[in-house]
Structure 1
Amino acid sequence: MKGQEWYQESDVAESYEDKRFSGGGRFIDRREKEAVLDALGPIEDKRILEVACGTGRFTVMLADRGADIVGMDISEAMLEQGRRKARSAGVDESLSFIQGDAGRLPFPDDHFDAVLAMRFFHLAPDPEGFIAEMRRVATEQVFFDTFKRYSARSTYNWALPMGSRLYSEREAKELVVGAGLELAGADHDFVLPYGFYRAIPGWVARPFRTADTAIRGTGLGERIATVSYWDARVPE
């Protein structure tokens, strides 16, 4: 998938967060972090692996809240941005960043309490293999997000600088079950796709996000949302 090559470019890593999480993109960042924290629950001293951690948005946030966390990514350029962020936040001694392949996680079975992957499965060439590896190293929980196939996301997907995989709800649930996991919860959000929010300033995005959130609270909002968050658990 061409997105893998695009993702590892050094200039992409340097501008990644400014392009995605400034202006209207701040609403995306806020919501994604909320979804992660809600799903993981109490995290102090919890052993967590973040697969495809990128620039460490979630890795650093979770370390700051007391998690024992490892961030892994295939892009050394992205990891360097994460290390800088960790130093700036004063948590560089509380976490580890390593370069690695999500298809062959360099950890023994049942090594982490929880494993998460955000902004990853839309680039995954082998989603079944990747989630199986996440399940292998997790003792309790696997958390990930997907972009929805039958939504406004599909209308601009062709314009992205990367290949992007979209999932129906059935396909995402099959990933969970196929990995030997049980679905504990799912949340769906952003009727207006991420690209819309990233393209406009924050003051313009605010009323749209207010309306978007109101729609989300209805049955219609869940059906036409562009993003899904999946909380899967390892069976006891």
Structure 2
Amino acid sequence: MKGQEWYQTDDVAEEYDSKRFSRGGQLIDRREKEAVLDAIGPVDDKSVLEVACGTGRFTAMLADRGADIVGLDISGPMLSQGREKAKSAGVDDHLEFMRGDAARLPFPDDHFDTVVAMRFFHLADTPASFLAEMRRVSKHQVFFDTFNRFSLRSLYNWALPMGSRLYSRWEVDRLLDGAGLELAGEAHDFVLPYGFYRKIPNDLASGFRSIDEVVGASPVGDKVASVSYWDTRV
């Protein structure tokens, strides 16, 4: 998987949230959490696995809403940040963080109601095998996001530390067919890519976001969106 060693360094883990979700990145954090909650709905007593949970943004959020959730990641330092976040939020006693490989999920078939993976598939070197594992351990729903090939995301892809895998709609459809997943819902957003928002103050980012949403709501919005959210059923 791309970036596996990079994400396992202490300094990257410690600065991950502040670099990505401060300034204009706050808009990204809010929208991503909204997308997850819209897709999976009420989570009271629902069993959830978050694959590649990183610093636990979604893990802690879903635990706070009553989910029975496990956050899995390959990076020990990222998981340490997640545990601190869960402790600060007062939810550390009803979630579990586990170090593991998303290519070989350490759970039996149909173990979770829902499996979520955010900010993961742009790093996946073998996305079909990862998605098949997510489908295997889910008995109902798999939710994930992708960055899109025909978007402004491609313009700064070269500047990322380990590159980024971008997907066309055809590639996503092929992945779903291969994993035996049925598309139940989709959303497409952020004509301006994430990297742009992270570089500017939140107040300024809010103005650009308003313009972004207008373009996104237009007939061409879905075609030029840089990120897509895929809600699928087993």
Under TM normalisation by the shorter chain, which class is it? over 0.9
Tell me what 1:75 maps to.
75
Q: Deviations over 1:163-182 (max 9, x none)?
A: 21000011011111110010
- Runs of 4+ residues over 6 Å off in structure 1: none
Judge conservation of contact 1:146–1:167 (CA < 8 Å) in 2.
Answer: yes
Maintained 8 Å contact 2:2/2:125: no
Partner secondary structure for residue 22 of structure 2 = coil
SS at match of 1:116: strand
Give the equivalent residue in structure 1 for 2:175.
Answer: 175
Do the aligned residues in 2 keep the contact of 1:3 with 1:164 (CA within 8 Å)? no
For each residue in 1:134-174, what CA deviation from the matched residue of structure 2 results, as whole angstroms up to 9, or x when unmatched?
00000000000000000000000001111210000110111
1:209 counterpart = 2:199? no
Q: Distance in 2 between matches of 1:102 and 1:207?
A: 38
Please list, as runs of the form range in 1=range in 2, the aligned pairs for 1:68-217 lying within 5 A after superposition: 68-217=68-217
Aligned residue for 1:145, secondary structure, equals strand
Provide the rounded CA distance (Å) in 2 between the counterparts of 1:200 and 1:188.
22
Counterpart-to-counterpart distance in 2, 1:233 and 1:219: 27
Gap runs ≥5 in structure 1: none
SS at match of 1:93: helix
Q: Go from structure 1 to structure 2 and tell me whether the alpha carbon gap of 1:194 and 1:220 turns closer, same or farther (over 3 Å shift).
A: same
Letter of the aligned partner of 1:59 in structure 2?
T
Match of residue 40 from structure 1:
40
Instruction: State the superposition RMSD in angstroms.
Output: 0.7
Give the whole-Å Cα distance in 1 for the aligned partners of 2:67 and 2:228: 24
Identity of aligned residues (%): 70
C-alpha distance in 2 between matches for 1:172 and 1:153: 17
After TM superposition, give the deviation of residue 2 of structure 1 in Å: 4.5
**Matching residue's letter, 1:12:** V
Preserved CA contact (<8 Å) 1:141 1:232 = yes
**Partners in 2 of 1:128 and 1:95 — Cα distance?**
28
> How many residues end up aligned between the 2 structures?
234
TM-score, length-normalised on structure 1? 0.98
Q: In the alignment, residue 102 of structure 1 is paired with which amino acid?
A: A
